[in-house]
């Protein structure tokens, strides 16, 4: 299996900031992610139990590309905007260890 790398961030969005968070994620963060990583997909999910909890994740072609994105001023600017709307944000970098596909 070829190595697969992902970024995954836990976001705890401040009360009454959810709509602004989603808008910034959609208009500022996602386009920059896609520009830096054009053959990818970036996803934002919201907890069903607590609507203030979000996770975002996306794959990267390699570790170098993932690390280089952090130096991009537009990427960093979008992250700063998102973090300002959160009481907690925990970004992380991950390597895929195992994937299992079901039968269709």
Task: Count CB atoms within 10 A of the CB of residue 32.
Answer: 19
Please state, in angstroms and rounded to a whole number, the distance separating the CA atoms of residues 35 and 23: 18
Please tell me what DSSP assigns to residue 29.
I
What is the pLDDT at residue 101? 85
Cα separation, 68 vs 32, whole angstroms: 13
Burial class (CB in 10 A: 0-12, 13-18, 19+), 91: middle
The pLDDT score that the predictor gives to residue 1 is 56
Give the per-residue pLDDT at 88.
98
What is the pLDDT, as a whole number, of residue 74? 94
Q: What is the pLDDT at residue 103?
A: 81
Count of domains for the chain: 1
CA distance 30 to 27: 7
CATH of the domain at 74: 3.30.70.100
The reported pLDDT for the residue numbered 40 is: 84
Q: pTM higher than 0.85, yes or no?
A: yes
Asked if residue 11 lies in contact with residue 56, where contact means CB atoms within 8 angstroms, the answer is: yes
Predicted pLDDT of residue 73: 94
pLDDT of residue 38: 83
Mean pLDDT for back-to-back runs of 10 residues, the chain (104 residues):
88 98 97 89 97 96 88 94 98 92 80
Tokens of residue 68, six digits: 């280089």
Does residue 18 fall inside a structural domain? Answer: yes
**In terms of residue numbers, what domain contains 46?**
5-95
């Amino acid at each position: 299996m070829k190595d697969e790398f992902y970024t995954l961030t836990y976001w705890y969005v401040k009360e009454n900031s959810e709509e602004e968070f989603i808008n910034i994620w959609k208009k500022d963060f996602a386009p920059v992610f896609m520009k830096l990583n054009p053959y990818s997909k970036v996803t934002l999910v919201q907890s069903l139990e607590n609507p203030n909890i979000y996770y975002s994740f996306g794959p990267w072609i390699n570790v170098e590309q993932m690390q280089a994105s952090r130096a991009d001023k537009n990427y960093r600017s979008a992250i700063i905007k998102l973090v300002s709307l959160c009481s907690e944000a925990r970004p992380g970098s991950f390597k895929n260890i195992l994937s299992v596909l079901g039968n269709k």
